[in-house]
Amino acid sequence: MQNISVSEELKEKVPQIKLASIECDVILQQKNEGLWEAVEQKVAELAGILQIDEISTIPAIAASRKAYKACGKDPARYRLSAEALLRRVVNRNEIYQINNVVDLLNLVSISTGFSIGGYDACKISGEVVFGIGRAAEPYTGIGRGELNIEGMPVFRDEKGAFGTPTSDSERTSVSLETKRFLMIIVDYAATVQLDEATADAKNLLVRFAQATNFEIENIV
């Protein structure tokens, strides 16, 4: 199990922050048809009831945006992954299809509003600390290139930054070769929905990624 903690600096700015980490063995597939049917059903459901201006008022997203501002980052310029996904759902009635593990993570994210990090656990080195990005700190986001993470909540290991609620990094990205998966759900307001999201994620991992050897922990 990865040793994960929240830095004192981040706790001071976002005192109610709480994380749920799920680590497990998984079997990767390019696409799982049953899962993708569930994703498309949820996308159609949300596209039918959500308006663009309502997305930022979803409790988990509102709390996340408030945390970004407290840390010194503009959430409108550096959108949280959950907000970006939901905007795509409303605007285009779709989300990207990546692989079964990332797809089920995105399903949990659009269902709850939580921004969720997904990492190849074998690519993480040493202890993990959730802190705040520094000026000129190097970071290459998946599909985004170099990303300015100054003032942004960020996960670091002994090699440096590897995950943010805006974009996960190329260095620890999930691929079809991934065997051990780490999912981190970030709740900036310590709500009861975090436990529900964790349970849903575990169920989806078992059902659609044949996940085993679970290690689950809440971090405050």
Residues 109-120: what's their mean pLDDT? 97
pLDDT for the residue numbered 144: 86
pLDDT for the residue numbered 19: 97
Helices 100-112 and 193-209 pack at an angle, to 10 degrees, of 160
Which residues form the domain of 44?
4-219
What confidence tier does 192 reach under pLDDT thresholds 50, 70, 90? confident
**Cα 135 to Cα 40: distance, rounded to the nearest angstrom:** 39
User: For 45-75, what is each residue's pLDDT tens digit?
Assistant: 999 999 999 999 999 999 999 999 999 999 9
Q: Which residues contact 149 (CB under 8 A, 6 or more apart)?
A: 133, 134, 137, 139, 161, 164
> How high is the mean pLDDT of the chain?
96
pLDDT for the residue numbered 215: 98
Residues 182-202: what's their mean pLDDT? 95
User: For 136-181, what is each residue's pLDDT tens digit?
Assistant: 999 999 988 899 999 999 999 999 999 999 999 999 999 999 999 9
Inform me whether the pLDDT recorded for 10 exceeds 90.
Answer: yes
Residues 120-133: what's their mean pLDDT? 97
Query: SS3 of 35, please?
Result: helix
Domain count, the chain: 1
Inform me whether the pLDDT recorded for 85 exceeds 90.
Answer: yes
Query: Can you give the CATH number for the domain in which 152 is found?
Result: 3.50.40.10
pLDDT for the residue numbered 190: 82
| Share of the chain residues as helix, strand and coil, in percent rounded to the nearest 5 | 40, 25, 40
Residues 16-44: what's their mean pLDDT? 98
**Cα 213 to Cα 91: distance, rounded to the nearest angstrom:** 38
